[in-house]
Amino acid sequence: MKRILLTGTGSGVGKTTITTGIMKALSKEHKIQSFKVGPDYIDPSYHNCATGVPSRNLDSFFMTEKQIRQSFKNGMTESKADYGIIEGVRGLYEGISPVNDIGSTASIAKALNAPVILIINSRSLVRSAAAMVIGFKSLDPQINIEGVILNNVKSNKHYLKTKEAVEKLADTPVIGGIVRDKSITMEQRHLGLIPAVEQDRIKGLIEKWGELVEDNLDLDMIMNIMNNSQPIKDEYEPIWSENKTKQKTKIAIPFDEAFNFYYQENIEALEYNNAKIEYFSPIHDETMPDVDALYIGGGYPEIFKKELSQNKKMLNSIKQFSDDNHPIYAECGGLMYLCKSIDNLPTVGVYPFKSMLTKKVQGLSYTIAHVEQDTPILKKGTEYHGHEFHYSKVEYKGSNKNDFAFKMKRGVGITGEYDGLLKNNTVASYIHTHTACLPEFAYNFTQTAYDNE
């Protein structure tokens, strides 16, 4: 499987712009499968727009090495891709620990034996850029850095000087350089980039990124690196449980401007368990579909709170679905939506608590949770990994720990100690989950949906 991993020396070096541009440029003649390192929903939406193929996440906190390889293989096989292009997260070596690889881009590079291209913010750098490359190459000799891209160069003269320094002093080829240009940067929001699903103009911007890459990078060199990818270790582990719900069910999933944070493999795991996915919009549709269960992912309900609040028929239909004891699983934005209100605008009201946007981040962490009560997705006694990233809070006014399904061992959750509000057959938390770290998720959810028909 031919592949390449593009990563940076740190955050803000232009990884998403350059990587997405490469995906767009190469997609003209080749089938590209994209991947994103880490628990990210937004960057993959740009990849999707560039390639026309659903992007996938690779994460060593969620996945074993064998699962990382399985996820990569799944993506390449499902899309029948010619090449796999992986975008890293933060700096190459940044992860949970200051001394090991867990949660880092480096861990993915090693699990997949992937050749690496290092993107450098070369603003005001010449020889120091070479020093950075030498340092990154020497820290872990198992990482195969085969090329460098210089971003934010001042001029062609600056580029040529820095290229000479890197190639002669760090003995690493430079694939090209991108001149500073504010017009190619993307609008930011409190959780990062604006999701591509929201703005048609992003398509035009990605076209521009593709053209920029074609004009300034040596695509033949990138292709050559991928074509010479070394074999991947032939050891794999399933992403989800091989237990399978044999009966057919229907599961509703909201997907629109407000809700669009879903991992591709979570959806595939549900489909593997004979679930038919019914997509709908809590903003634009009148009521939810006629289904057996509801899975509400994260997104930006706080940005679209007025539109969500005004759709009374939809709010009532979801509240009734919960009252009728049908299984509902909700994450982060889904939790906010199921609360009494978002910033004092009425929402579904399964839970009698207010949710609100905050100026400061409330939770930004990988999480570990222990399941204290049975839920539609997990049974009591389970421990699982996830992540949280939210600029919101839920004003929990209760005092009963039995209101919660999850006790936090790592992370903040709703109260700092507990997460997973549980009522009827509905559970909602700030934790985002991936099927690799709770393999029974899809089986449990579809089986509960069938049992409640």
Cα–Cα distance measured from residue 4 to residue 8, given in angstroms and rounded to the nearest whole number: 13
Give Cα separations from 169 to 7, 43, 115, 126, 166 (angstroms): 21, 33, 20, 11, 5
pLDDT above 50 (res 190) = no
Q: Is residue 237 part of a domain?
A: no
pLDDT above 90 (res 449) = yes
Which structure tokens are listed for 246? 């044999």
Cα–Cα distance measured from residue 122 to residue 13, given in angstroms and rounded to the nearest whole number: 9
Residue 188's pLDDT band (cuts 50, 70, 90): low
Into how many domains does the chain fold?
A: 2
Mean pLDDT estimate for the chain: 94
Mean pLDDT, residues 133-138 taken together: 97
Is residue 339 part of the annotated active site? The answer reads no
Pair 214, 254 in one domain: no
**pLDDT tens, 381-421?**
999 999 999 999 999 988 889 999 999 999 999 999 999 99
Amino acid identity, position 332: C
**pLDDT tens, 10-59?**
888 889 999 999 999 999 999 999 999 999 988 998 999 999 999 999 99
In our burial notation (b when 16+ CB lie closer than 10 A, e otherwise), range 39-55 reads bbbbbbbbbbbbbebbb
Cα–Cα distance measured from residue 159 to residue 176, given in angstroms and rounded to the nearest whole number: 8
Q: Kindly report the pTM of this predicted structure.
A: 0.93
Q: Look at residues 171, 194, 227 and tell me which one is the last residue of a structural domain.
A: 227
**pLDDT tens, 312-323?**
999 999 999 999
Do 203 and 233 meet the contact criterion of CB atoms below 8 Å apart? no
Give pLDDT, residue 195.
56
pLDDT above 50 (res 345) = yes
Mean pLDDT, residues 331-347 taken together: 98
Q: Is residue 235 part of a domain?
A: no
CATH number for the domain including 325? 3.40.50.880
Pair 258, 336 in one domain: yes
pLDDT above 70 (res 325) = yes
Containing structural domain, residue 266: 249-451
pLDDT above 60 (res 8) = yes
Give pLDDT, residue 169.
98
Pair 97, 136 in one domain: yes
**pLDDT tens, 268-296?**
999 999 999 999 999 999 999 999 999 99
Q: Is residue 358 part of a domain?
A: yes
> What percent of the chain lies above the pLDDT cut of 90?
89
Pair 45, 96 in one domain: yes
CATH number for the domain including 31? 3.40.50.300
Q: Look at residues 166, 193, 227 and tell me which one is the last residue of a structural domain.
A: 227
Pair 441, 324 in one domain: yes
Cα–Cα distance measured from residue 56 to residue 68, given in angstroms and rounded to the nearest whole number: 11
Q: Look at residues 172, 196, 227 and tell me which one is the last residue of a structural domain.
A: 227
Q: How far is CA 335 from the centre of its chain?
A: 18
Mean pLDDT, residues 258-267 taken together: 95
Give pLDDT, residue 187.
56
Pair 311, 400 in one domain: yes
**pLDDT tens, 100-128?**
999 999 999 999 999 999 999 999 999 99
Cα–Cα distance measured from residue 261 to residue 245, given in angstroms and rounded to the nearest whole number: 25
Query: Quick one: angle between helices 15-26 and 219-227, nearest 10?
Result: 80
Give pLDDT, residue 162.
97
Find all residues with CB under 8 Å of 296, minimum gap 6, and list them. 253, 254, 259, 328, 329, 330, 331, 333, 334, 337, 338, 428
Residue 369: strand pairing partners: 384, 408
Query: Active site residue: 49, 332, 339, 437, which one?
Result: 332
**pLDDT tens, 196-250?**
454 566 788 899 999 999 999 999 999 999 999 999 999 999 999 999 999 999 9
Q: Could you please report the per-residue DSSP string of 10-35?
A: STTSSHHHHHHHHHHHHTTTS-EEEE
Helix (H) or strand (E) holding 166: helix 156-169
Half-sphere exposure for 291 (CA within 13 Å, toward CB) = 27
Q: Is residue 242 part of a domain?
A: no
Mean pLDDT, residues 262-271 taken together: 96
pLDDT above 90 (res 83) = yes
In our burial notation (b when 16+ CB lie closer than 10 A, e otherwise), range 232-269 reads beeebeebbbeeebeeebbbbbbbbbbbbbbbbbbbbb
Pair 308, 411 in one domain: yes
Residue 191's pLDDT band (cuts 50, 70, 90): very low
Mean pLDDT, residues 357-373 taken together: 94
Pair 277, 142 in one domain: no
Q: Is residue 174 part of a domain?
A: yes
Mean pLDDT, residues 255-263 taken together: 94
Query: Quick one: angle between helices 441-451 and 264-272, nearest 10?
Result: 50
Mean pLDDT, residues 363-391 taken together: 95
